[in-house]
Amino acid sequence: MGLQRLGRDTVLYGLSTLLIRGLQIFLIPVYSRVLGTGEYGVVETVAIAGALINLTVALEISQGMARYVADATTEHDRRAFATTALIFASIAYGVFALLVAVFQVELSNLLLVDQATPHALTLAACAIAVNGVFVIVQDLLRWQLRPGSYLIAGLAYMLGSAGVGIWLVTAQGMGVAGVFWGQLVGATLGGTVSLLGARGLLSRAFDLSRLITMLRYSLPLVLSGMAVFGNMFIDRIVVREVLGLDALGIYGVTARFASVVSILAVGLQVALAPLVFRHWREPGTADKLANICRWYLVAMVPLVGTISLFASEIITTLTGPSFHTGSTILPLLTLGAMLSTLYVFAPGLFLSGRTGHVALLNVTGALVNLILSLTLTPWLGLSGAALSATVAPAVVFAGYVLLGLQWFKVTYQGTKIAVSLGMVIVLVIMGLKWPPADVGWESTAVIIKLGLLLLSTFFAYRFGLDGNDRMALLRRRR
């Protein structure tokens, strides 16, 4: 597994992910001053529905495609698997969008609660469908190990979505419909660029036998995907049902700031997965993965710590006044976002094809999230939902580690990992306990918080890494 390539690819994939997923964060200062909390609750409701659709409608064919395109021994096989997966997904998403258009009135009454028109829901469905196809085509670039093209596609998505969305929402006053138009245009542009870049991996052949092969691998992951959906969104669904659309708007905006952690981590995840799948049988791959895990957790100390300690300043600076109460839950949601990224360092179940075990783990996490959300949200409000969203991914990651070690043993050095995780948790607790800022970025508080971040980062660097890790860093500097 080439660490030099991993570093380069991580940067490129991370930039692309930042452009696509980070766009929703970049647009918050604009949209939160134009849309009310209820309208933002509609945007969040559609995002939740879109996540479920992306995990189920195409039967997780992207997972099967990834498995067999990466393992194919001939160019003909790669093209057959890739083309078949893309055609199947396009048909599935097209049927979904058509059904929403037919039943738009009934679905709008159920989901939007008079905050948007049925036409806006159909528009959102089209955006979800086109985005689903875009994600699969862009994934082809990843499995061709073409991070540069992957980045260009992400840039196209960002320019289309942001440009059109901001213009329609602010200048044309189209409200949530303008948001969905922006997403549709962005996904169309990104998909077109991805298709042009991946055309060498596509042909005109649709192969039913290969489709069946991919679905045999991916179908168990549909249940797993639904469970992942539960891990990610059950807390938001409970907030919507228990506390209302306005509370969901606040919670959703805050969760987007917390997602900075997972967005920045995706570059590493996307770059690491193909390399691990290709080299996992080679001696030394497990040790390299353990080294990367230790460095990753050390890097999380200043990142999670910054968002946690400066939660009040971030929220009050970048959102409208009606969203400011979200600062009280941002540290917890940030910790949960970090925990949800750690599964990439425990790939044993994926490498061994134990997708049923993966599904079971994710179902367990979803149940934990559901039980805690239903119990804590009526009692603690948004804080209860945030706590459930933090505990659930911790349970799932522990399961990945314990069940996956028998198939792919990673030497984690648990004491050193515990040091970095401990520093993260301490900073999150301090962020929760720190009094909200009354005057924004107050200089004394900023200095104290920066000092705490530096001290915690040094402690994690000194005790969360071993001597070989630090020597490797010094050699790279030279």
Averaged pLDDT, 220-234: 75
Are 13 and 150 a contacting pair, CB within 8 Å?
yes
Exposed, middle or buried, 463 (CB in 10 Å: 0-12/13-18/19+)? middle
Q: How far apart are CA 55 and CA 101, in angstroms?
A: 20
Are 234 and 372 a contacting pair, CB within 8 Å?
no
164-205 pLDDT per residue, tens = 999 998 888 888 889 999 999 999 999 999 888 877 777 777
Q: Which range is least confidently modeled, 92-96, 180-184, 264-268, 470-474? A: 470-474
The identity of residue 440, as a single letter, is G
- pLDDT at position 2 is 47
317-357 pLDDT per residue, tens = 888 788 888 999 999 999 999 998 888 887 777 777 777 78
32-77 pLDDT per residue, tens = 778 877 787 888 888 888 888 888 888 888 888 877 876 777 878 8
φ, ψ (nearest 5 deg) of residue 226: -65, -35
pTM score: 0.72
pLDDT for 18 beyond 90 = no
Q: How far apart are CA 289 and CA 367, in angstroms?
A: 30
